[in-house]
Amino acid sequence: MSDRKISAPTANVLEFRKLVASDEKLQNEVSNAVGNGKWDPEALIKLGEANGLSFTAEDITSNLFEENDELSDFELEMVAAGGSTSCVKNDV
């Protein structure tokens, strides 16, 4: 177990992650905020607040990856929506 102290925003992001993992309706709402390549952190913040949790967009991105923790398929989709991607066509 780590000796690092968890800040309130970090704890809230982790709690939000647990809520999303266990609530299909909340997963759908999160998908609307981050699905299909879009990333709307303000919508995620509002969903967190609606569930009594306060955090920022930076809190979300900095706490998605926890040491020795695997992301669910749903969380991987969220991460993919938040990052930039590029495609290169190679005519070889």
**Which of the four pLDDT bands, split at 50, 70 and 90, describes residue 10?**
confident
Q: On the CB side of 88, how many CA atoms lie within 13 Å of its CA?
A: 2
pLDDT the model gives residue 84? 43
**Which of the four pLDDT bands, split at 50, 70 and 90, describes residue 1?**
very low
What is the residue-averaged pLDDT of the chain?
Answer: 75
SS3 8: helix
Lowest mean pLDDT among 23-27, 49-53, 85-89: 85-89
Instruction: Flag whether the pTM goes above 0.75.
Output: no
CA–CA distance, 41 with 57 (Å, rounded to integer): 5
Q: Nearest CA to 83 among 65, 68, 56?
A: 65
Output the CA–CA distances (angstroms, integers) from residue 44 to 59, 77, 83, 89, 90, in the order listed.
11, 14, 16, 34, 37
